[in-house]
Amino acid sequence: MKTPQLKSKENISITNFQSNTNLKDSLMCPVCYETYSPGDHDPLVLTCGHNICIRVLDKFYANKMIKCPQCNREHTYNSKKDIPKNFALLNVMEFFKQTSYSRLS
């Protein structure tokens, strides 16, 4: 059995920086680059799994269809209200707001 090797402190700090950067990107709308938040910037989750904020929905929703701005997959919804909010992402946002979100800025 192979023994796992520990990373150097330098590698760990680079890894932490990269994961914080990716996490920060995941907490922002890929269209308007605003951080998701309840209200104007509620994250909506498309069936492809990508998110957009409610504010930019009108740019992509037409004729009961929405084209994902990230993967270009087309989705059909009878109305805008049928696109669900991503409550899990809102919970993550609330957690970071209460704990360490300022360290990601």
pLDDT at 102 over 60: no
What superfamily in CATH does domain 13-99 come from? Answer: Zinc/RING finger domain, C3HC4 (zinc finger) (3.30.40.10)
CB burial string 7-24: b at 16+ within 10 A, e below = eeeeeeeeeeeeeeeeee
In this structure, are residues 36 and 27 in contact, taking their beta carbons and an 8 Å threshold? yes
pLDDT at 59 over 50: yes
Q: Who wins on pLDDT, 9 or 32?
A: 32
Query: Can you give the pTM of this predicted structure?
Result: 0.71
Give residue limits of the domains in the chain. Answer: 13-99
pLDDT tens by residue, 63-76: 999 999 999 999 99
